[in-house]
Structure formats: structure tokens, C-alpha cells
Structure 1
């Protein structure tokens, strides 16, 4: 199995110049453990596991949905579609229900995890991008360097933290996943995941995910950016995919050394 060890130009640009007091993030590559099929029509916005089942939220006006997906086959087992006027974004499970954001519509939806019945909806200011759950609060990204912490009972904002990379604000945080006390985030239009300290907002690690797709997997003008990270409880193992990708990957993180 091949270990990806190179840091892309995109990541170098992302890291930028460090401030004098900023910590240096740990750099990771990956090893592919398994490759699974992924629905080509899924503009992936959220990805998470619950009780061994894989769930996915998708975007685009007229195409946005919440899905339960069979990991092995990629088949959609259950789905509910958002109204055509909503652009779906990140989703996660909290307090037994599934919460899903919309992009510019300022609406969040609460679905029953068992039958996807809509139980409630909430309003918020600004855009909705990624969403995860830390066991107490929903954690939401909105395209800015800010992460919002939200009470799942009423969607009231509790606090915010600014995310910084080497001392500088890092914006365009997209799909989120809570893993072992930290927030992992896709950074939109890059091949990077970042690991964020939820108390300080400091990026402590960067994962370089270049090279997942082969040339034959890419349809010009259709296959879009990396987005979608899920954790099933295995130490150092993630599941990742992208928007309109034909594949979903189970990977093992590998620390890069000089």
C-alpha cells in the first residue's frame, strides 16, 4: 500500500509564513486501506457514521438530500430531499436526531434518525457550511475562520472560536468531524484536512490528501473538490470522499517525517 508523503503547493500556500509565537502543525499523509464505490450524483456536504451505518448530506439546488448509504456497495438505502429552494450543507447526529444545514437560506433542519421525518427547523444568521457534534454542542462552520458552538436543544449559539493556522486566521472551513476531542475540517478548494483545538482554535495538524483519485476517476467539469470526512471509531483511520466522486476511501493517517 502506497504512502503519500508529498506536501502540495496548495498546502504550502495554505500554511503560509508563521508568526513568531505560532505553533508548527504536525504534517500527515495517508495509506489507503479500502476503496468503496460512491454515488456519482452525490455533491457531498456531510458524512458521518451512526451505529455502524453511514449517512451523507448532499447539496445543489434541486438535488439536496439526506441519505443513509450502504458503505460496501455505495447504494442509497434511504433518503429525503430538501425543497428545491434549499442548498443542503453539513449534517451530523446529536441527541438522537440528525441536524442538517442549508447554505445561504439561514435554515437548519432536524430529522428523526429512524425515518428521516422532519421534526423541527431553526434559523441562523450567515451561511451554513459544515456541522459536527462534540457530545454537548453542535459545531458549525460558515465559510469564515469562526467555528460556532450551538445548543442542539434550540439551536442557540453558545460561543465562537477563531481558527488560526500558524498564527493567521484560516477561512473556508467546510465539512467537519469530531474525533478524539478535536475538530477535523476540510478546507474548501484544497486537498487538506486540518485538526483544530476546539478551545483555542489553533490548527495542530494538517493532513495532505492529494492523489486519492486516479486520472480515470475524474470527469472534467463534473468531478469536484475533496469534501467529506467520517470517523468510525478506529484509531488513526478516516473515511473520506468528495463532491461527485465515484469512490470513497478508508485511509490510515501516517505522520510525515523530514
Structure 2
């Protein structure tokens, strides 16, 4: 891992974050995938100013794209040592979670209300756990920097099978029960056959002419793929048919409030879970002490052109040996 290096290909000048700042904050290389909890000064200013600029000159939202914030309706305890990579809700207020970091990666069954880990499967120290999803009685998980994945029994988390997929890397997983949707940290959304692990189709995720890079943890909600965009406080709502961004959920308040309360060791927003029966959305982050149930509130006022690009889009990352 020490031999890995990170290269970037510039995109349009909508991202004010200096290259040096991104290099220092993006540390998903080496024995740890820990990143800085403080984003660049320009990003912080953009987040804080998101609502202030509404009173100035405005531009209309892109037609058909929704813009929403999240209001916290419930808070639940979350293991602050869990480097959350994959998250999903099952019945009876049960969560399944995949955690990362070498030597600390796990798959776990968690009680929503108490945050207690009820069943835990520790992964080999050479593996870095990533996205997780559930089809029937089987949990599917991918791993970082490898094309290897695992299938677990949902009851006791025993390992049932190892598989090889065709994505360039393993980041996020979601499903509609028939197809696996996968991300590899690029702007590509993969459709994968869960029986053969062959790619059925794929789309480039795009917003206003820009590719949306660094797609991370995934969840399927009401026919949309929701994706954490790595190193942002944003969730992209994506059409699985054509890769178009249908909307943005912007959640800077969650991380900022945790930091303000003294949680300086937290990492980025990552982890989306959906309770389809009670229509509840849950989110958390890497090393966060809390998991939140949020209610989405539409942002009805328009804001200056380029703000979403500043908050939610990042340069692509390339890994070479």
C-alpha cells in the first residue's frame, strides 16, 4: 500500500479547493483511510454561506432537479470506532453495517435504538471493508482496492461465499432485490448480476454537464440511487436509468454540530439506510458517535449559480502503482 500514489485529472473550474489541500485531506491510501475532519477553508465558507446568499442575486434551479436539507427527527447512538462504509436497514429496527480500516474491518448487526453490536464478523487484517447490501437472506459486501467481495448469512454473519466483480474497485453497493448497484469511487454507476457478478450495464453520473466523481456508499430509495459523494456533505439522488442527478440532499449541519460539540475525531458523512415500511431515512458518518433519522425539507429558494458545484462536486481520483 505504501507504493500507491494518487493522481488527479482536473475538471472545470467549479471546485475552489486547492490541490494541496485535497491531497492532505484525501488519505484513503496506505494502512489507513482516515481523512481530515476539517474541509478546506473555501468549502467551509461555501457551506456556511449556503443560505446567506439567498438574499442576493439568484438563478433558477436546474429544471427537474430537487434540492433538500435534512431536519433531524431522531438521534441514535453509533459506535464512534466504526469507520462506516456500508449501511442498511432491516426489519425490527435492525441495521447491518460494514466498517473499514485495515485490521479493524467488520460486518456487524446493530440494534438501531441502543447502537449495540449484536453480531460481529471480523474481517482478515489484509482486507478493507466497503459497501454492503442485502438480498433475501444474504449480505453482499465489497472491499477496497480489490475486486473481491463476500457473501454472508444475515443471521449469524458466517461467510458463505467469496466472489470477484468487474468494477475497477469496491466502494458502494445497493440493490432492488434483482440487480446489484455498485460504485467504485469514480463517476460510474454499475448494474451487476448478483448471480454471476458480471456488469449488465453502467452509466456515467452527471449534473449540469459535470461528471459526479467519488461516488461512495449507496442506497436505493423509491427507485432512486442515493449516493454519498466522498469528501462532501452531499448525497446525490441518481436515476438508475440514465445516471442523471435527480436531486441533492445537502447535510453540512450534521458534521458541523458534531464538531461544535467537541467530536474532533470524526470523519466524513458516509452511510445511508432506508426503512421502506415506515419511510424513514437514516444517515451517519465514519467514526460518528451518532446515527440520525432525518426528514427531508425542500429548499424552495434559489441560490447563486455554482454553489452546488462548490459543495458537492470534487475532482476525480486516480490510483496507480
Structure 1 distance, partners of 2:262, 2:140, is 31
TM-score by length of 1: 0.88
**Structure 1, unaligned runs of 5 or more:** 1-6, 14-21
Alignment equivalent of 2:263, drawn from 208, 211, 219: 219
Alignment equivalent of 2:273, drawn from 221, 224, 230: 230
Q: Is this contact kept in 2: 1:101–1:128, CA < 8 A?
A: yes
Tell me by how many angstroms 1:153 deviates.
1.1
1:86 has 2:159 as partner: no
Check 1:61–1:96 CA distance in 2 against 1; reply closer, same or farther (3 A cut): same
Alignment equivalent of 1:251, drawn from 294, 302, 306: 294
Q: How does 1:1-258 map to 2 (within 5 A)?
A: 9=46, 23=63, 25-52=65-92, 53-125=94-166, 126-213=168-255, 214=257, 215-220=259-264, 222-233=265-276, 237-258=280-301
- Of the two, which has the highest radius of gyration? 2
Check 1:78–1:217 CA distance in 2 against 1; reply closer, same or farther (3 A cut): farther
Q: Deviation digits for residues 36-64 of structure 1, max 9, x if unmatched?
A: 11001100001101223211110000000
Q: Is this contact kept in 1: 2:47–2:252, CA < 8 A?
A: no
Higher mean C-alpha deviation, range 155-164 or range 226-235: 226-235
> Counterpart in 2 of 1:3?
none
> Counterpart in 1 of 2:8?
none
Structure 2 distance, partners of 1:240, 1:171, is 20
Structure 1 distance, partners of 2:297, 2:279, is 8
Whichever structure has more strand as a proportion of its residues is 1
**Structure 2, unaligned runs of 5 or more:** 1-43, 51-61, 302-321
Supply the RMSD in Å over aligned alpha carbons. 2.1
Q: Deviation digits for residues 224-245 of structure 1, max 9, x if unmatched?
A: 0000000102576310000000
Structure 1 distance, partners of 2:175, 2:199, is 14
Tell me by how many angstroms 1:217 deviates.
4.2
Tell me by how many angstroms 1:123 deviates.
1.5
Structure 1 distance, partners of 2:238, 2:49, is 18
Tell me by how many angstroms 1:135 deviates.
2.3
Structure 2 distance, partners of 1:133, 1:124, is 15
Q: Is this contact kept in 2: 1:89–1:130, CA < 8 A?
A: yes
Check 1:168–1:251 CA distance in 2 against 1; reply closer, same or farther (3 A cut): same
Structure 1 distance, partners of 2:176, 2:48, is 27
Q: Deviation digits for residues 149-187 of structure 1, max 9, x if unmatched?
A: 111112121111110011221110111000111100000
